[in-house]
Structure 1
Amino acid sequence: MPRRTLALLLAALVVLTGAAQAQATGYRYWSFWDRDGDRWTYATQGPSLARPSDGDVQGFRFAVSEDSKDAAQPEGAAEFAVICARTPAQDGKKRVALVIDFGTAADAPSGETPPARRAACARVAPDATTAQALASVAKPLRYDTNALLCAIAGYPEKGCGEQVAGGDESAGTESAASEPRKEPSDDGPSLGLIAGTAVVTALGAAAFWQTRRRRNG
């Protein structure tokens, strides 16, 4: 009987863990990155606030991610000297290298195909923001009412930071286009965590009961 109980509890734990993973929610959006040496770091300011310096490299990536910790990074060449090789320096201007990665077909909204990733050198005023630099090389840009960047070079045509349920990355809702992307809540433990804890507790109790029975036997 104890062995059967343990087997059932272990099976329940596996099922609950899978259910918790299935409930994971991602967001389809453009993430913004700064190049630091030979690696990308998630930008701490939005493109409308960031003011890059001459010689900086910045990137954008369209993808489905749960949050900044698992966000996909831009791919492709990211060297300033390479991207801006054909854009000579000019007095009173700064040059900013931009890497624009439109992502994969798996992350694309239903019915849309991501363009090929590209790199461009923006030559703009010294006080220009990243958004202004981006607008000079990748129009049209689209923003929502909260100034969230929704589209670069017209991609995607619809949607803006919409939620995408786990396992259904092509079923975004257009209603989220007027709202800024929201990070997953950290207000409390998830249902999967609570259930998993209960199962682990039950497993411990069953093991203790079995050991005690053997000693008494």
Structure 2
Amino acid sequence: MRTRVLSLVLALGAALGAALTVLGAGPAQAAGYRYWSFWQSGGGKWTYATEGPATARPSDGSVNGFRFSVSEDSGDSAQPRTAPDFEAICGRTPPKDDTKRIALVIDSGTQADAPEGETPPASRSACAQVGKDATSAEALASVAKPLRYNSEALLCAISGYPESGCGEQVATKPKPKAKPSESAASASAASKSGSDHKGGPSVGLIAGLAAVAVLGTAAVWQSRRRRG
């Protein structure tokens, strides 16, 4: 009998340790990619391009944008921070026969997205006047050399930035922590309800219940031992 009760105590203790380990573990960091995203204008807004700059053939009066950032996917990708305004960029460039004018916005991003040891160049705009059949990549090359591509034709660098790397995977930055007052309020609410912010039992509540169960079982075992 004593052996059976002792086994139960040990099992409950192990369950408590496992619960604290699982609940105390932090969320895994999401993976993102550091790269130049390609954007096109539409209705005065930026739209993520559905094809690469090497195949896109914009018409005269188009605006193309390039933004360097760390993004998890196209829906999470940062847009160029300059509005797609053709007149503001190309308004002073007169049209010529057999050419087209493409307004380009080149946004090198922020220091937080830069590779270690590098500083992003200042963002800039330029008006590319190229042949009527030119691609977006050719328009970009006319105003922002040198460009660098990898073996899969992925655009890796504009005007030499960044110096190395191409679409490498990096850990995305964690979301900002709640303010101290917000954290205190959340902790107070969780304490009163006996649950965490996701609606499940809190670590403290589970630990308390498991500890009570372990101590209660131990007390029963001790009482029976004395009687015996």
The normalised TM-score by structure 2 is 0.66
Distance in 1 of aligned mates of 2:161 and 2:104: 16
Of 85, 97, 108, the residue aligned with 1:102 is: 108
76 and 166 in structure 1: CA distance in 2 versus 1, 3 angstrom threshold? closer
Of 142, 150, 174, the residue aligned with 1:144 is: 150
Give the structure with the larger helix fraction. 2
> What does residue range 125-204 of structure 1 map to in structure 2 within 5 Å?
125-167=131-173
Deviation at 1:77, TM superposition (A): 3.8
User: Which residue identity lines up with residue 82 of structure 1 in the other structure?
Assistant: A
Of 65, 75, 82, the residue aligned with 1:76 is: 82
66 and 85 in structure 1: CA distance in 2 versus 1, 3 angstrom threshold? same
Residue in structure 1 matched with residue 53 of structure 2 by the alignment: 47
Of 118, 122, 129, the residue aligned with 2:128 is: 122
Distance in 1 of aligned mates of 2:83 and 2:42: 14
How many residues were matched structurally?
A: 163
Deviation at 1:151, TM superposition (A): 0.3
Residue in structure 1 matched with residue 91 of structure 2 by the alignment: 85
1:74-119 superposed Cα distances (whole Å, 9 cap, x missing partner): 0124210110022111011000101000000000001110011001
Deviating more after overlay: 27-36 vs 76-85: 76-85
Residue in structure 2 matched with residue 58 of structure 1 by the alignment: 64
- Aligned-pair identity in percent equals 66
Residue in structure 2 matched with residue 28 of structure 1 by the alignment: 34
Q: Aligned with 2:75: secondary structure?
A: helix
Unpaired stretches in structure 1, ≥5 consecutive residues: 169-199, 204-217
Deviation at 1:145, TM superposition (A): 1.1
